[in-house]
Amino acid sequence: MDEATCARLRTIIKAGEELADSELAAFTLDAAVTESGGLGGMVHLRVPGTRRLVLVAAHGLARTVARARDWAELTEGGPSAPARATALRVMRWAPGSGRGGTVPALPGAGGLLAVPLFPAADGSGGAALGALSVLAAQKPPPRRRAAVEELTAWAGPRLRPPDRALADQATADGPAGPVAADAPVARTLRQMTDALFTVDRDWRLTFVSRGAERLLGGFRAPLGRVLWDVLADLGIDSTEPDLGTRYRRAVADAAPAGFDVHWPTDRRWYRMRLVPVVDGLTVYAADITERRLREAGQAAAERAAAQRTARVTELTTALAEALTMRDVVNAIAQRVLPPFGASGFVVQLIEGSVIRIAGSVGYGRDFLDTIEGSSVDDVSPVSEVYQSRRPVFIDSPEEYIARYPSMGWRPSAAAKSAWAFLPLTVSGRAIGCQVVSFAEPRHLNGEERALLTALSGLTAQAIERARLYDTEHTRAKELQRGLLPRGLPALRSVTAAARYLPASEGIDVGGDWYDVIPLSGARVALVVGDVMGHGLAEAATMGRLRTAVHTLADLDVPPAELLTRLNDLVSDLGDDFYATCLYAVYDPVAGRCVFARAGHPPPAVVRPGEPVRFPGLTPDPPLGAALPPFETVEVELPAGSLLVLYTDGLVESVNQDIHRGMRHLASALSVASCRLGAAPGPAGLERMCDEVLAELLPEKQRTADDAALLIARPRALAPGDVAVWCLPDGPIAAGEGREHVREQLDRWDLEPLVITAELLVSELVGNAIRHGKGPFGLRLLRGDGLICEVSDTSPTTPRIRHASETDEGGRGLQLIAALSQRWGTRYTAEGKCIWTEQPLP
């Protein structure tokens, strides 16, 4: 025998050490049939003091033996192979199923191999106990015969001869009593591995097979006991309370019944077949555990397949809705990694010959930095997948290192132990590789590999769309940032903070904008607007409007007139363009704000100790649809007040009308202003912007519209920073103006500005006397700079002349432009004002 056979026999012998008598005979026979490659077999033992050989075990021959009574009892020395092997004490092979004389044949057999059983392992114990016979299609080879001999040598000393009285009773009545009067049939049924038992009308057990003994709690036959007592001892009543009811119903209905039951003692499944008979009930229990396991496995596989299909459907939907690369990576992490038990995912795109990390889950930044920017020409799984466009599956770190020695450090650095490298191909063009990784070694079967490969095709399309979206989105945001102010000016009369929130959907830029524009006389213009729609055309319109507002603001055009000119500009663009705008001018000398608006929500005014107000609630139509003139509203802004400008995206959405949104804004401003104080500085205004946005537009409630917010804290000039004089109508006006300026600058400690200021005042007053009409006025303002204003009642606008070398005049405005930081003309209700501004030292 070879080593494998010897090892197998040792295992079999060890498993049967606890068995005895008929159980041992059946166990040995089963092993002998298996080892010899036989079709079935029998064990005959001699009744002590006689030459009778009684059948005590059968394997695979139940039906045949049941029909062949003469095999149930043989005579030692008779013509059959078992009888001759017992008598001659040697192995016998009898072709033709081993029949002889009157012993009937065993159909379908090529012969019978009979091996004697001895009471001692070396065969020195005298007469044989009997014989173990194996029915085979052909004579087993020597190594198989040796295995059978080894088994019989082990079992023989452990077998006890059958009791003579029991053998006589079995011959007369059969061990099954009323159920099986035929003793050989009864003996054969008793050896059945399946459970078969019968009960009489009093529910007493009248027959129990070996298999039923195991089922009913032990190797000793519970014959004569009441079935319910046996079941109660096993605890069956508590675990299967319907079992007794089903037995009784089968008897009462006199109809066969069948059902499956999970037996509590061995935790296996049995198919119970109940057959009522004249004098009781026959119960047959077939072990169907393996079938149930197969069915459960099949059901589990079907459920797994359904779950995978559902996840693929969910993934397809999620990828279709994904916009950015981050969305794509999150969709895959949520719907692909869990069912495969994966711990990591990374998208590597190829740009030229360089690897770029587009997104990842489950990887550290340090490891990703080692991959970012590396060459695809290096020997690596990513390079192999990119060049071959075929997936690569690696089951363990050892396999990874063996395939890519130069990259052997990567598994430990990434803390991964198995990988699926999947190609990303779009329209026949390779764009990179996606990697699904596992924390432990993992072998993916064929179905899993096919599914991951199929999913890589879906994700490749989504990744390409996301990459294009991210590129366009970046460009759109850069355009948006270029169209909005890069920063707000730091002014003495107005401190402001602003926020712009783009729409949460789409890549098109919006048309919302805001501005803070310094004007003459220390005044400040505050602007907010919204071009309706999204897209490049709307963004371009916004840029044109913003430029126009700056130009008109430099001309000191009043709010209503400025909107009129903007309305003409928008109307000239066509019928498809509309915009809203609010233009406000704050005068720090008067402490007032004047504004006009076209289709835009009103500003919010926050005064200390008062509720938030929205002055001028009735708007004019939007630009492009309005019919000027526009209404002008004037608002007092005492110390500590705030002026808040915003676009409708902040207060209006599909779930909230604008009036409710304005009430929400008022509440948020009240809370924020109380928390930050009546006169917050620049940092306080920044915090207020953030708090208001967080309250009105939390991250989870972003809308499809842009939103702009501008919060301004106006500050009036102190009375001591303003000086006003009336000038006479005549040549002496210039001298008086210089004297007023010199004295006032001395009081303000601005002596370094005196000489330049005197020159500027001389030119301004002289120009007004020469070309204007009285009365004349002079005003000095100390704000962000030194502002000098000369006013008259003439509407004539001064213009710079380019005087020739021989001209005696025409150089006054050139001198003013050279000496001042800024200068200009502003029209007033009485006429005009020419002003200059010098930087403070």
Q: Mind listing the pLDDT tens digit for each residue in 668-695?
A: 999 988 887 655 678 889 999 999 999 9
Q: Please, are residues 16 and 28 in contact by the beta-carbon 8 Å criterion?
A: yes
Look at the alpha carbons of 648, 654, 655, 658 in this order and tell me if their dihedral is positive or negative.
Answer: positive
- First-last CA distance in the chain: 113
Identify the pLDDT of residue 95. Answer: 86
Distant-in-sequence, close-in-space partners of 560: CB < 8 Å, separation ≥ 6: 596, 628, 629, 630, 631, 632
Q: What is the pLDDT of residue 804?
A: 54
pLDDT at residue 67 in the model: 43
Return d(Cα 433, Cα 421) in angstroms, integer.
Answer: 7
Count of all residues that appear for the chain in the document: 841
pLDDT mean over 4-29: 82
| Per-residue pLDDT at 665 exceeds 50 | yes
Contact between residue 748 and residue 799 where contact means Cβ atoms under 8 Å apart: no
Q: How confident is the model at residue 63 (pLDDT cuts 50, 70, 90)?
A: very low
Q: Is-same-fold flag (3-170; 192-287)?
A: yes
C-alpha distances (whole Å) from 124 to each of 37, 152, 824 are: 29, 14, 136
Highest mean pLDDT, choosing among 134-148, 327-341, 580-594, 651-665:
580-594
Average pLDDT, the chain: 84
Helices and strands in the chain, H and E counts: 26, 30
Say yes or no: domain 719-839 is CATH 3.30.565.10: yes
- Bond into 79 cis (ω within 30): no
pLDDT score recorded for residue 703:
58
Going by C-alpha positions, the residue among 202, 243, 203, 208 that lies closest to residue 222 is 208
Q: Over pLDDT 70: what percentage of the chain? A: 89
Burial of 132 (0-12, 13-18, 19+ CB in 10 A): buried
Query: Lowest-pLDDT range, 56-70, 81-95, 109-123?
Result: 56-70
CATH superfamily of 324-474: GAF domain (3.30.450.40)
Distance CA 761, CA 772 (A): 15
| Interval 28-45 mean pLDDT | 88
Q: Would you state the pLDDT for residue 702?
A: 57
Q: Where does the pLDDT of residue 802 fall: very low under 50, low under 70, confident under 90, or very high at 90 and above?
A: low
pTM of the model: 0.56
pLDDT at 171: 46
For position 57, what pLDDT does the model report? 83
Domain ranges of the chain: 3-170, 192-287, 324-474, 487-714, 719-839
Q: How far is CA 790 from the centre of its chain?
A: 70
User: Which residues are CB-neighbours of 244 under 8 A, at least 6 positions away?
Assistant: 228, 231, 237
CA separation for the pair 203, 224 (Å, rounded): 9
The pair of three-digit structure tokens given for residue 500, joined into one six-digit string: 């712009």
Q: Does domain 3-170 fall into CATH 3.30.450.40? A: yes
**Fold observed for domain 487-714:** Phosphatase 2c; domain 1 (3.60.40)
Superfamily name with CATH number, domain 192-287: PAS domain (3.30.450.20)
Confidence of residue 83 (pLDDT cuts 50, 70, 90): very high
